[in-house]
Amino acid sequence: MFSHLEKTPRTLLVCERSHLDHEDARLGRHVEQHSFNHQLSLLVPGCDRLPAELDAALKGMRSFLLVRDLPLARLLEEDFIDQAVHKGSTYGLSYRTRIDEDNCYALLPNGKLVLSVDKDTYEVLGLEGKPSQYQRRPAGRYVVSVDLKDKTMSPGGRGHQRVLKALTEHTPLSCDLLLSQHLPGGEGPALQSLLSNHKLSEHRPRVSSRVMTSLPCPTLATSDLQGERRSCDPQSFLEWLGAVDAGVSFEEDRSGGYLSTYQCPQPQTLVDAAVRCGVSGLLLPEDIYSLVDVLRRSVLEPKLAPWLALTVHGFQDSPVSWGTAEHGFLSGGENFYTLVLFQNLDYWICMATGSHDACPP
């Protein structure tokens, strides 16, 4: 009866090493493909205060909207398709829906509308889809993908009429939706004006920071990722980084009063101070990549430690993880990446998912 405990659930960790200026560097692509981010954490060892430019970048991430009880059919109306889908990149994600139990929806920046729905909803909709890769029972959940940029989805077109009818007549679907938009050059109408007839509120990402003193840090070298020295492998480093985020104490327990203790991987360096900053909300890839540009300049500061670490967590209940790959939920819904940037502009990027995800790109 405990056969499911005999082995640890599968997890995936994909790591790359490159240089920011290398012509084959894929960092921008990885950041761009991870569309729905809800939290980032930045660890800067060796300082007790962030450079002003870096502090401003963290606090300046764009706001997002929460639209209450929005009919999905509204996303198919002509003004929305024209202004929000064809102009710029719009990100939309159903709010407080659980990917393993509820109907969940996502509007991707490439114009695709993804519906992850239960069997009953799928059968009533009558739209073409495919069974979820991660369903717990046969044919219990389905995924429908609609390309709003396809020529058949032009208002009045055959495909547009079919999808609109499914979302309004067969089974009217609505949800609370998180929305944000990136417009090239910052030009174009705001989403607020397009959705002014609906109940909405604007929110700023929440920013937090704390200073840690006498923090033991792994002594990293860029070659560690490829096994040339292996003083601190990526798995051990991510475990340590998670312990720092969780506020785990690294003080040795000399009294023997605890069943387990955790220590920083060896070799290590004791830094006098380190700053840990966190930002949470609907965080766009464009803003995160702009932050990487600021980190690029900050990491060259001679007063800082030889490396910085930026971790970006995806929404646990998003229908997709990287690109259009389906995302599922087994125990934690993990999908995140960590960027370690060195002073010489070499970097590691470590991309991790749980059991219900495809391999990161």
The tens digit of pLDDT for each residue in 248-274 reads 877 665 555 555 677 888 888 899 999
Summarize the confidence of residues 8-33 as an average pLDDT. 89
**How many Å apart are CA 93 and CA 71, to the nearest integer?**
13
The tens digit of pLDDT for each residue in 117-173 reads 999 999 999 999 999 988 766 778 999 999 999 999 998 899 999 999 999 987 889
The tens digit of pLDDT for each residue in 313-344 reads 999 999 999 999 999 887 788 899 999 999 89
Residue 90 has a pLDDT of 96
Q: Which of 307, 302, 298 is nearest to 338 (CA)?
A: 307
Summarize the confidence of residues 346-356 as an average pLDDT. 91
**How many Å apart are CA 165 and CA 185, to the nearest integer?**
36
Whether the predicted pLDDT of 226 surpasses 70: no
The tens digit of pLDDT for each residue in 79-125 reads 999 999 998 899 999 999 999 899 999 999 999 999 999 999 999 99
Whether the predicted pLDDT of 304 surpasses 80: no
Rg (CA), the chain: 22
The tens digit of pLDDT for each residue in 185-199 reads 655 457 999 999 999
153: which 2 tokens?
A: 């989805």
Beta strands in 169-316 (DSSP E): 174-182, 200-203, 206-218, 268-283, 307-314
Please name the helix (run of DSSP H) or strand (run of DSSP E) that holds residue 211, with its range, or none. strand 206-218
User: How sure is the predictor about 212, in pLDDT bands with cuts at 50, 70 and 90?
Assistant: very high
**How many Å apart are CA 295 and CA 289, to the nearest integer?**
10
User: Cis (ω within 30 of 0) for the bond into 267?
Assistant: yes
**pLDDT exceeding 70 applies to what percent of the chain?**
89
Whether the predicted pLDDT of 20 surpasses 80: yes
Phi, psi of 4 (to 5 degrees): -70, -10
Strand pairing report for 206-218 and 64-71: unpaired
Residue 1 has a pLDDT of 45
pTM for the structure as a whole: 0.91
**How many Å apart are CA 336 and CA 311, to the nearest integer?**
7
Residues 6+ apart with CB under 8 A from 234: 13, 15, 225, 348, 350
Q: Which of 348, 276, 284 is nearest to 31 (CA)?
A: 284
43: which 2 tokens?
A: 């660890």
Residue 252 has a pLDDT of 62
User: How sure is the predictor about 47, in pLDDT bands with cuts at 50, 70 and 90?
Assistant: confident
Q: Measure the CA dihedral 218/312/26/331, to 10°.
A: 90
Whether the predicted pLDDT of 57 surpasses 60: yes
Residue 107 has a pLDDT of 98
Mean pLDDT of the chain: 88
Residue 306 has a pLDDT of 83
**How many Å apart are CA 139 and CA 118, to the nearest integer?**
9
Alpha helices in the chain (DSSP H): 27-33, 52-59, 78-80, 119-125, 158-165, 191-194, 234-245, 285-298
**How many Å apart are CA 338 and CA 313, to the nearest integer?**
9
For the stretch 131-140, what's the b/e string if a residue is b when 16 or more beta carbons lie within 10 angstroms of its beta carbon?
ebebbeeeee
Strand pairing report for 112-118 and 104-107: antiparallel
The half-sphere exposure of 93 on its side-chain side, counting CA atoms within 13 A, is 26
Count of other CB atoms within 10 angstroms of residue 190: 13
